[in-house]
Amino acid sequence: MTATTVASTRAAPTPGADRSRARARGLLLLRRLGSAVFVLWGTITVTFIVLSVLPGNRATIVLNVQSGQTTVRTAAEIAAVDRQYGWDKPVVVQYFDYLLGLLHGDLGVSWQLKRTVGSIIAEQFGPTITLAIASLLVAWILTIPWTLWTAGRGRIRGSIGSAVETIAAGLPQYWVGIMLLLVFAVNLGWFPVLGGTGFAGTVLPVFTLAIPLAGFLGQATRTEFDRAVRQPFVLSARTRGMTESGVRSRHVLRHALIPGITLSGWAVGSSLSGAVLVESVYGRPGLGTVLVSAVSNKDLDLVMGIVILISFVYVVVNLLVDVIYTIVDPRLGGTR
Amino acid sequence: MSASAIGTRPTPLRRRRTRAALPVSVIVAGIVALFFVVAAVFPQALAPRSPLSIDLLNTLSGPSASHWLGTDDAGRDLYSRIVWGTRTSLLIGLGAMAVSLVIGIVLGFASALAPNWIAQPVNRFLEVLLAFPVLLLSLLFVALLGPSAPSLIIAVGIGSAPGYARLIRAQALGVRESGYVEAARALGHTSRTIFAQHVFPNAFRPLVALVALGIGQSVVWASGLSFLGLGVAPPSSEWGVLLNAGKSQITTAWWLEVLPGVAIVLVALSFTQLGRYFQDRSEGITR
Amino acid sequence: MNKTRTRLGLVATAAVASIIALAGCSSSGTPATASGTPIKNQTITYVHEQEPPCIWGAWVQEAYLSRQVFDSLVSWDDSGKPVAWLATKWTTSPDGKDITFTLKDGVKFTDGTPFDAAAVVSNVDYWVKNLGWNSFSYLTSATADSADQVTLHLSKANPEIFRELSNGHYGIQSPTALANNSQAQNCQYPVGTGAWTVKKWTQGQDILFARNDSYASAPSNAAHQGPAYEKFLDWKFASDATTRWSALTTGQTDAVYDPPSSQWATAKKDYDVHSFVTGGRQQAFSFNTAQGPFTDVKVRQAFAYAVDRKQIVESVFKGSVPFDGNGSLSPTNPDYLDVNSTYPYDVKKAASLLDAAGWKLNKDGVREKDGKTLEVKLPYGAGPIVSQDGAIALQAVQQEVAKVGFKLDLVPLTQTQLFSGQGQAPDEEDIQFGYWVWPAPNILDIVYNAGTTAAPNGNNTTHFDDPSVQAQIDAAQVEPDATKRKADYQALQKYFNDNAVAVGLYDFTNNVVTSKDLKGFTQDQGSNGLPLFSDAYLVGSK
């Protein structure tokens, strides 16, 4: 959740004509867009600065990667490469060149893969976002029944529920990956070891990310669930004669989901990071693997392209989270 | 990583104490946590054998009376390696947690409470950091500083700081608007007093459980970087290093991968359990 | 904990059972013939470790891929001689600087361009420009004498040029593609005359090679002429050894690169294993002879005596990789000298050498001289250069040298640090550890040539600088008489070993494990052991 969201949820609904409400809504939208553009620009700039100050001469890396050597290079060799890629220009000029290119929709070329960044991203984005979104969905599918079954139902169930969540949340992702691989792919043979991007190959990677994530979502949901159960409206619903399960699933759960939903925006970002490890365990294509090698080789254009994309996804997901938020939280409903 | 307690809402401080007996889970968690704390401070008391002593004639032997948890591919005693690795792992966990908390507190409170000309830019900066892929931050810093415990601490700490900052900001905003702060204001307290006595403690308290969980998570996160070859240098027996080394033996010597993982889970679980207990106690909730 | 243990134990038992069942199956399925009936036009799946950025380039990982798509002028044979491939015969000028090749007739690149002398000339130009280390082959240019005859020019005689040309890096590409296609196309979808063409490269996953149906230019030492038996070659990537191995045991792939060494015994029992020790120099310790404690020959020798290198390699690699004591040259290269019996494990000798060099033990068990402790730094490229097993071996070395009073600091470098040349300068290291794949004995020139002050030779990891020795290297590599050349090279290897400028640890070995259902798999003999699938075919259950 971005800071603007916090601000906007606090904005009191202005009573008045539909027209002014529509105008306010339009303004809000503009502000959101402006903030999104700012965030994108900010991530680009931060990445650019960090990559520029990162030790390790880029031209040396290019020369060594292309020749499979690890040697120190002479000034003449370095100068030639710098000239070839335009790295002899001042960093500020390179920065504005990059931004200018970006405005024309040009993400640049990866020196490492010798392809346009756009084409690499187009190829690699699908598997990664599939993984991220599917694991978020599966995590929710695991979390909701688990919470309903264990939360607010006495100490023993609660402790078991909470212990399982804590364990799940504390599991190292790639450790889960290796365990699932060992049991379900290597020994039971239910899934392929090297699955690629098909359905059968996606199941284990998705669970690898979903299990720890479900632990987090479960913790957040349970904390809120335990609080909500003690709220006055629960009592009033009960006195209205609502069944216990009805109260739990209709009223309490609705409240309890809010922190988890807020968390989902973060979760997508985290899954994109976790995807790197999972892709490495399962030999799966995706942005993660590309990003690690791009960072290692200071393949600036490629790193920037991926950063822009991930930030973009983050912004979009958080907008979605805001929308879902208003639907779920009865206290916020209607005004936006 | 930082997220588990996002749902916690600022609760006014209550001074109600319950005299309930310690729950069993807390006692168990306390014993486990104590074990690891002792392991971190006095490893030789728990594992007299050297964690680095290589025995190439006794590699990959399973758990037995002489090697409780078996040996690794260099014949080193896994139990000793886990015990001696505790210090580095917990230091990384604590260090990363401290780094991210300090950054988080400064940025979080600044964005919530500072005058507009400070709060606005800090806010924007936070937004940018939040949208930044966490892994990339870590990757950049390890690539920048080389693989070592300090660079892991900084990488993981900075990577998780934005989450804490956001959380603290939300808490601080909530507390600022709450009735008792308004009351204190009406009573004419200075803003410094209000911050020190009301806002900070109330905004910070919900983070206690989170800190405990965060330590475990930082260990996990650091081990993930180890997996990518960006961890602490071997032959250190930091748990991430152990997990990373164990994966190539998984089909022959499961203990090398499973047991260090269990150690991580135990730390995460016991610390979280304790953190949650203290948080509940301070809020006057018994479970 | 107990529960986990039992469960995993059960699972492991199940795995063993299924392997036995599998093995039983395949042997009972085809009882009579060892080779079985080929099932053609299928897909062979192979899982490799590292994914390079391009099909062709100067990195050895790229040679693996180039070899599938391109043909070379000559092929290296098991007999230790070059044999005809795209060139049918060749002659060397008396001064050894010009080699004239007669080219095979009627060969076409897969884009339709005919293969001729002009094509070779464009490729030579391309190599000279793009292969960073090409100068060590002394190849400078080429001229087309006629349509089917081309002469390659060298800056000095190089009797081993054929070993180099048979290498995957010197594969011939379509001159039309080189001239007209984009860099990206030539990187991902280059055009050759080879047995396979690149059909689809999915970065991070696999490269799908399709059979070149009109292939008619197999090397003369290939098992068969004409197109490959199977229709596709699915070349997957998985950086994790356990993942690769598991893909093989679950029957998902027909061949894998480098299994975990703990599985080597199983691999030998249940599968076919193929090992090739690469040419060049081995995984060796290069001592810094320019600066620091290792400028003293006694200290270098003490280090070598202090380590039971053979035992370490045997224990760590479990037979998958051999020990090699020669730090200068690989056993695969011609003129190799076996020095495996030198510097046997001898702690006393190591201690007395250090005493003699003036390094005395202090109370912490570390040696000291003139107030400085014997702390030495060993940076190494963890991952791309030194595998996890290699790192274990280094840790064992660390423990053994500590017993005689060395404090050895292992400094793993990230890929960024490694490729940006960190830990290479004389003041940043005391020992370097790594290999260099190269087909010819002039690897000595690559790794011991000091270069000039303006352009020091970065490959010289020992910072060795002795003009008289360099003169001997220069003389050896142009020596036309094979017997004399061998004697010269062996004398040089003896010199470097006696002075412990560099001592070896283990051979850089390319291991491939194939399923019993894959027949006809071979490794290229031209110094890299590149896996070859054009003669391979599937039998049995598929």
CATH number for position A193: 1.10.3720.10
A200 close contact with C: CB closer than 8 A: no
Among A62, A85, A110, identify where a domain stops.
A110
DSSP string, A58-86: HHHHHHHHHHT------HHHHHHHHHHHT
Reported as a pLDDT band with limits 50, 70 and 90, residue B4 is very low
Higher pLDDT, C159 or B219: C159
Report CB contact under 8 Å: A277, B228.
yes
Reported as a pLDDT band with limits 50, 70 and 90, residue B5 is very low
- Picking from C216, C329, C284, the residue whose alpha carbon sits closest to that of residue C503 is C284
% pLDDT > 90, chain A: 14
Please report the pLDDT score of residue A207 as a whole number. Answer: 94
Reported as a pLDDT band with limits 50, 70 and 90, residue A225 is confident
* Mean of pLDDT values over A7-22: 52
pLDDT higher than 70, residue C236 = yes
Rounded distance, CA B160 to CA B218, Å?
9
* Mean of pLDDT values over C290-310: 96
Exposed (0-12), middle (13-18) or buried (19+): which is A145, by Cβ within 10 Å? exposed
In chain A, what residues touch C130 (CB-CB under 8 Å)? 66
Higher pLDDT, C313 or A195: C313
Please report the pLDDT score of residue C432 as a whole number. Answer: 93
Please report the pLDDT score of residue A259 as a whole number. Answer: 78
Is A290 within a domain? yes
Report CB contact under 8 Å: A68, C61.
yes
The chain C residue lying nearest A57, using CA atoms, is: C420
Q: What is the pLDDT of residues A72-102, one digit of tens each?
A: 888 888 999 999 888 989 999 999 999 999 9
% pLDDT > 70, chain C: 93
Among A64, A93, A110, identify where a domain stops.
A110
C21 close contact with A: CB closer than 8 A: no
Report CB contact under 8 Å: C12, B142.
no
**Domain co-membership, A176 together with A28:** no
In chain B, what residues touch A171 (CB-CB under 8 Å)? 220, 261, 265
In chain A, what residues touch C239 (CB-CB under 8 Å)? 280, 283
Q: Which helix (H) or strand (E) holds C348?
A: helix C347-356
Report CB contact under 8 Å: B74, C316.
yes
In chain A, what residues touch B231 (CB-CB under 8 Å)? none
Report CB contact under 8 Å: C262, B146.
no
Rounded mean pLDDT of chain B? 79
Reported as a pLDDT band with limits 50, 70 and 90, residue A9 is very low
In chain A, what residues touch B132 (CB-CB under 8 Å)? 43, 46-47, 307, 311
Q: Which helix (H) or strand (E) holds C284?
A: strand C280-287
* Mean of pLDDT values over A299-324: 83
Reported as a pLDDT band with limits 50, 70 and 90, residue C18 is very low
Rounded mean pLDDT of chain A? 81
Which of the residue ranges B86-95, B205-214, C415-424 has the most confident prediction, judged by mean pLDDT? B86-95
Please report the pLDDT score of residue C506 as a whole number. Answer: 94
Chains that contact B by 3+ CB pairs under 8 Å?
A, C
pLDDT higher than 90, residue C516 = yes
**Structural domain containing residue A208:** 118-296
pLDDT higher than 60, residue A335 = no
In chain A, what residues touch B3 (CB-CB under 8 Å)? 216, 220, 263, 266-267
* Mean of pLDDT values over C520-526: 90
**Domain co-membership, A100 together with A122:** no
**Domain co-membership, A146 together with A287:** yes
Q: Which residues does B contribute to its contact with C (CB < 8 Å)?
A: 52-54, 56-57, 59-60, 63, 73-75, 142-143, 146-147, 229-230, 233-235, 245, 247-255, 258-259, 262
Please report the pLDDT score of residue B57 as a whole number. Answer: 80
Please report the pLDDT score of residue B285 as a whole number. Answer: 53
Stretch among A3-17, A28-42, A169-183, C379-393 having the lowest mean pLDDT: A3-17
Burial A106-122 (b: 16+ CB within 10 A, else e): ebbbbbbbbbbbeebbe
CATH of domain B22-49+70-282: 1.10.3720.10
B220 close contact with A: CB closer than 8 A: yes
Q: What is the pLDDT of residues B129-165, one digit of tens each?
A: 887 777 777 777 777 677 788 888 888 888 888 888 8
Is A197 within a domain? yes
Q: What is the pLDDT of residues B10-58, one digit of tens each?
A: 444 444 444 456 778 789 889 999 999 999 999 888 888 888 888 878 8
Q: What is the pLDDT of residues C206-218, one digit of tens each?
A: 999 999 999 999 9
Q: Report C:334-373 residues touching A (Cβ under 8 A).
A: none
pLDDT higher than 60, residue C158 = yes
Q: Is the peptide bond before C467 cis (omega within 30 degrees of 0)?
A: no
Nearest-CA distance B216 → chain C (Å): 19
Reported as a pLDDT band with limits 50, 70 and 90, residue C33 is very low
Quote the number of domains for chain A. 2
ipTM: 0.78
The chain C residue lying nearest B241, using CA atoms, is: C388
The chain B residue lying nearest C260, using CA atoms, is: B248
In chain A, what residues touch B264 (CB-CB under 8 Å)? 170, 172, 175
**Structure tokens, A288:** 């993660």
- Picking from B177, B223, B232, B235, the residue whose alpha carbon sits closest to that of residue B202 is B177
Is A48 within a domain? yes
Please report the pLDDT score of residue B128 as a whole number. Answer: 84
Reported as a pLDDT band with limits 50, 70 and 90, residue C2 is very low
B223 close contact with A: CB closer than 8 A: yes
B130 close contact with A: CB closer than 8 A: yes
Q: What is the pLDDT of residues C80-90, one digit of tens each?
A: 899 999 999 99
**Domain co-membership, A65 together with A203:** no
Reported as a pLDDT band with limits 50, 70 and 90, residue B6 is very low
CA C341 to chain centre: 24
In chain B, what residues touch C396 (CB-CB under 8 Å)? 54, 56, 74
- The pTM assigned to this predicted structure is 0.84
**Structure tokens, A51:** 């990559």
Rounded mean pLDDT of chain C? 89
Torsion of CA A199, A203, A206, A208, to 10 degrees: -150
* Domain positions in chain B: 22-49+70-282
Please report the pLDDT score of residue B284 as a whole number. Answer: 59
In chain C, what residues touch B259 (CB-CB under 8 Å)? 1
Report CB contact under 8 Å: B163, A266.
yes
Reported as a pLDDT band with limits 50, 70 and 90, residue A3 is very low
Nearest-CA distance A132 → chain C (Å): 17
% pLDDT > 70, chain B: 88
pLDDT higher than 90, residue C295 = yes
CB C210 within 8 A of CB A255: no
Please report the pLDDT score of residue B112 as a whole number. Answer: 84
Is A12 within a domain? no
Please report the pLDDT score of residue B14 as a whole number. Answer: 44
Rounded distance, CA C44 to CA C23, Å?
19
Q: What is the pLDDT of residues C170-193, one digit of tens each?
A: 999 999 999 999 999 999 999 999
Is A3 within a domain? no
CB B226 within 8 A of CB B244: yes
**Domain co-membership, A153 together with A34:** no
pLDDT higher than 60, residue C3 = no
Write down how long chain B is: 287
Q: What is the pLDDT of residues B238-285, one digit of tens each?
A: 888 888 788 777 778 888 888 888 888 888 778 877 877 877 776 655
**Domain co-membership, A177 together with A287:** yes
> Sign of the CA dihedral A105, A111, A116, A120?
negative
- Picking from B112, B221, B200, the residue whose alpha carbon sits closest to that of residue B158 is B221
**Domain co-membership, A84 together with A127:** no
Please report the pLDDT score of residue C513 as a whole number. Answer: 97
Rounded distance, CA C277 to CA B84, Å?
38
Please report the pLDDT score of residue A150 as a whole number. Answer: 85
CB C272 within 8 A of CB C514: yes
**Domain co-membership, A132 together with A194:** yes
- According to DSSP H, which parts of C30-149 are helical? 60-69, 117-130
Reported as a pLDDT band with limits 50, 70 and 90, residue A243 is confident
